[in-house]
Each structure stands twice: as C-alpha cells, then as structure tokens.
Chain A
Amino acid sequence: MFEDLIYVLGKYHGWLFDGLLLTLQLLVIAVIFGSLLAVPLAIARTSKKLWVQAVPFGFIYLFRGTPLIAQLFMMYYGVGQLIANIDGIQDSWTWEYLRDPYWYCLLTFILNTAAYVAEIMRGGINNVPSGEVEAARACGMTPTTTYRRIIFPRMWQIIWPAYTNDVIFTLKATSLASTVTMMELTGAARKIVARTALPYEAFISAGVIYLIIVYVLTFGFKGVEKYLRRNEFRQADKKPNVETGVQA
C-alpha cells in the first residue's frame, strides 16, 4: 500500500501538479466571472417587476435544475458541434480556440456558478435590514449609491458563509472537466489509474490534494469574513453567529 503510494507520487507527481494548476485555474476564473455575472442577475431577481424577474429566474432555474455533467455535455458536444458545422469556421483563426475544450468547460462552470451565486445574493439582498435601506434613502442617496454603500457591503456579510460553501462546491465540480478530456486533478488521477492499475493510491493522492485546497480556502475565507464583519467586532462584546450569518 505505502510502497505503491510512494511509487505513484514519485513517478507521477508531475501529472498531479499539472492537474492541480488546471483545477485551480478553472476554479478561480469560474468563481470570479461567475460572481461578477451573478450581481446583475441577483439585482434583476429582486426587482418587483415581473418581466425583469423572469429572465434571471429562467436562467437560474435552468442551471440549478439540471445536472452539471449534462450542461457540460450540452455545451461541449452540443454547442461545440453546432459551432463546428458553421461554414468556413474551421479555416478561420478563431477555430484554434473554438476547438479547445478549455473554453467550453470554463463557460459552463462560469454560468453554473453564476446561477448558484445569484440565488445566494438574492437571499442576501432581501435580508439587508429594511431600516438601513430606508435610512440611506432618507440621507438622500441615489439607488446606485445605496447599492454601493449599503446594500452590497451588508449583502456580502450575510452571504459569506454560503458563498464559501459554493466556492468549495465549484472546486469539486471542476473534476467533471475530465469527462471532456481536460487533464485537471481528477483527470490526472484517472490517467495514473489507467497506467498503473493502482486506483486507491491515485485517487487518495488526488483526494488529499483536494482536502488541502479546501483547507486553505476555508482558512482564507474565514479571514475575509472577519474583515467583512469588522464593524461588528468593534462593538464591544456582541459577537455575530458565524455559522448562520445571523446576527446576535
């Protein structure tokens, strides 16, 4: 067992490292762009007008209601084939990018993350105490300024634990990229299994790396949470309930 593990790590750590880099790359880009896309979606979702709500609602419903692997296959084999069949596209300079699975994976992960985060943000915006919003209005702030100075900072405070959770979810979702030929961490592990017939050693190695990533993420996000809630810590002995995000 241990000899095999050392053998796998000794011989194939390069594959695992390359896989780790790709996993992190997919995760970081998906989370950043997904979150940016989620902001307008969440704002539209909290609108009182039905027709403004409808579009983000449909989008969120679609992406939360179907399995990620189905979305990935639809994007890669479905949309990918449609694009490939456009006349002349295979001769154009864009084809080098359009044929690459990387962009299809990334786009799927971004859209998927955006749907989940938008829903989390909607909950956050709705839970900003109405008194604070009214106070902002009373001070003469425009809606934009209210969002920027009151609603968003409060929203981040409220949603941060749920948001952390979603980032970890996205980390594990990136493992599906290996089904469309991307050699991220799980893909690397599967390649090692194919080579060595040592499934336990390969997947344990990959699993431990995932655990380390999650540990670092949790640690970092806890730090950010402290920063976001700095106003509360300043108030003498009132400590917020970190688990639920509900204030004491």
Chain B
Amino acid sequence: MKNWIKAAAVAAVGIAFSASVASAAWEKVVVATEGAYPPFNFVDKDGKLQGFDVDFTKELCKTAGVECEIVAQDWDGIIPGLLAKKYDAIIAQMSITDERKRSIDFSNYYCTTPAVFVGKDGMKIEAYKDGKVVEDALDGMVIGVQRSTTHANFLEDNFPNAEIRMYDTQDNALLDLTAGRIDATLADSGVLLEWVDSDAGKGYSFVSDTFAPVEWFGEGAGIGLRKEDQDLKELFNKALAEMLANGSYEKLNKKYFETINLHPR
C-alpha cells in the first residue's frame, strides 16, 4: 500500500515536471471561451465564435507572436478543462476571485465593465471622482440597486444620506426608474447600455462617468491559466501591456463599446 502511494507520488511529480518542460516554449496556444455571453463571446448564425473576447484573443496572440486556436467550452466545465489540459487559457470574462485563484492562476485583468448611474436625460451625478468617493453626491436622492451586488454594497457603505432601495432584479429597478419612484439606479454599464439604447430606456441615459474601483468592484476579468504555466502568463501580460500602449486595445474597445472604457485602470 505504502509503495503504491510512493509510486503514484513519483509519477505525479514526473508528470508535473515533464509538463513544465514541455511548455517551455509556446508556439501554439489553445484558448477556450464560453460562447454564450454576448457581446463578449457568442456563436453567430454561421456557427462561428464572435465577440470582444474572440477578437481580443486574436489580437493578443498576434502581439505575443503565437498561433492560437479558439474553442468553445461550457461554463461549468471551463476550469476542469483547463486543468485537464484540453486547452491552455480561458478568455471568457472570468472575474478574478480568490476562490478561483485556489485552483488556477490569472493574468493581469484585461477587461472590466465599470459601474455607472442611469437617470433622466440631463441629470448629473458625480459620486466617484478622481479616485475618491464624493460622499454627499447623492444626498436626499432615492437610488435603486439590485440586491446582493457589489453595487449595492458600494452605495450602502459610502452614501449614508441617500435612500437606497434594494430590488430583486435589475429589471424591477428600471421599472421603478421609469415610474419616477427612484431618481437613479447604479449597475453594470454593459447591462445598462443595452437598456438605455432600447425603447424602454427612452429619455434616460448615463448620468455619471463610469467607474470601477478595485476595493468595491474587484479586479475585473483576467485570462485564466494553469498555475504551472508562469511563462505563458508572462507572455500574455507583456502582450496585453503592449496592446494597451499601442492603441490596439482601445480600437477593439471602441468597436464593441463606444462609450464604455473597458480598461479604466
């Protein structure tokens, strides 16, 4: 019995070692995305993967000088698949969390959909300015927000003189916004953009700058990688920095979101 465990341990070390040796030089990288989270990643009517994540991956690999293959993978199995080496990276709007960091590693964040206030056209809210919370910006106002979100925590902890209403869904908050029962709502700008552009959101618009301070909203989405592939992490981080510097990231950002800055830090 003991020998059997020893043998298994030796084998495991051997596999881990050989894997790290094999991945020393990256020429071809297989990247998984979900394909069900438009406009970031989705399957178009011809069955092709499309979206911000897909374009970003192509640009990233070009910058890094590696060949990339993009595959679709269901969300539930996306981390196990990475660990089982079915692919080498996950680029699918995966938020960087401590829980996930226990099993996989992340690159620097490459994307975040910041928070924004939506209210009647012509309104102006300056609740977060120059990296600081403006505590009295919402005094006397009624602000709607979805329960159990980072946005709800942000409002409750920072604006003691505002009345914060908690809704079960963002849709209900938006209903009450159009009914005039709340003055504004705070949520993810990606979600709100869609609503503001729709018929239901006529007469309403973004009434603040977008903002995403880490201490409230987390780091954002990163590229998911296996812990042993530190060289790939470095490669991608370098390529990401280059994309941000040479403007190709901004071009991509503009292509999908005219008004939202996906990389505000």
Contact = CB atoms under 8 A, between A and B. Distances in A.
Most buried by B among A84, A90, A95, A181: A181
A167 to B, nearest CB: 27
A90 B180 contact: yes
B148 interface: yes
DSSP class of A's interface residues: helix, strand, loop or mixed? helix
13 contacts: A77-B172, A81-B175, A81-B179, A84-B179, A84-B181, A95-B180, A99-B181, A179-B168, A181-B166, A190-B147, A190-B148, A191-B166, A195-B153
Given A181-B167, A187-B166, A193 B148 contact: yes
The 7 closest A-B CB pairs, nearest first, are A194-B148, A84-B179, A181-B165, A99-B181, A90-B180, A81-B179, A84-B180
Contacts of A183: 166
A95 B180 CA distance: 9
Contact of B181 (A80, A179, A191): A80
A194 B147 CA distance: 7
Contact of A191 (B147, B172, B179, B180): B147
Nearest to A100: B181
Interface in A73-93: 77, 80-81, 84-85, 90
Nearest to B173: A181
Contacts of A95: 180
A63 B179 CA distance: 25
Contacts of B165: 101, 181
Nearest to A178: B166
A240 B213 CA distance: 68
Interface in B153-177: 153, 165-168, 172, 175-176
A174 B149 CA distance: 24
A99 B141 CA distance: 13
Nearest to B146: A194
B95 to A, nearest CB: 16
B152 interface: yes
Interface in A139-162: none
A46 to B, nearest CB: 40
B180 A99 contact: yes
A194 B153 CA distance: 9
Most buried by A among B149, B179, B181: B181
Interface of B: 142, 144, 147-149, 152-153, 165-168, 172, 175-176, 179-181
Contacts of A190: 147-148, 166
Contacts of B147: 190-191, 194
Contacts of B152: 194
Contacts of B176: 77, 80
Nearest to A181: B165
B166 A80 contact: no
A234 to B, nearest CB: 54
Contacts of B153: 194-195
Contacts of A80: 176, 179, 181
Nearest to A83: B179
A80 B168 CA distance: 17
B187 to A, nearest CB: 15
Nearest to B172: A77
Contacts of A77: 172, 175-176, 179
Contacts of B175: 77, 81
Contacts of B149: 194
Nearest to A84: B179
A85 B165 CA distance: 21
A194 B150 CA distance: 9
Nearest to A179: B168
B42 to A, nearest CB: 30
Contacts of B172: 77
Contacts of B142: 99
Interface in A53-109: 77, 80-81, 84-85, 90, 95, 99-101
Contacts of B148: 190, 193-194
Given A90-B180, A183-B166, A190-B148, 20 more contacts: A77-B175, A77-B179, A80-B176, A80-B181, A81-B175, A81-B179, A84-B180, A99-B180, A100-B181, A101-B165, A101-B181, A181-B144, A181-B165, A190-B166, A191-B147, A193-B148, A194-B147, A194-B149, A194-B153, A195-B153
Interface string A89-132: 01000010001110000000000000000000000000000000
Interface string A190-202: 1101110000000
Nearest to A81: B179
A113 to B, nearest CB: 24
